[in-house]
Amino acid sequence: PAPGAAPAPPPPASESAREHYGAALERLRAGDWAAFGREMEALGKSLE
């Protein structure tokens, strides 16, 4: 990008992966292992 230009938004798969990763960490901190597992599965699918 040109100097001072905003960077391009991340591709949708990257955004989805980031969201699932963040949600998985929240579920891990809360001790909700079932939800953690679901978020990790969703993370894996978004990276395929």
Structure confidence by residue, pLDDT tens digits, 15-38? 889 999 999 999 999 999 999 999
Task: Find the domain containing 37 and state its range.
Answer: 12-47
Asked whether residue 29 is domain-assigned, the answer is: yes
22 within some domain: yes
Q: Is residue 7 part of a domain?
A: no
Residue 4 is assigned to a structural domain of this protein? no
Beta carbons within 10 angstroms of residue 4's beta carbon: 5
17, 23 Cβ separation under 8 angstroms: no
Mean per-residue pLDDT, 8-19: 81
Q: Quick one: average pLDDT of 10-16?
A: 80
Q: Hey, is 8 helix, strand or coil?
A: coil
Domain count within the chain: 1
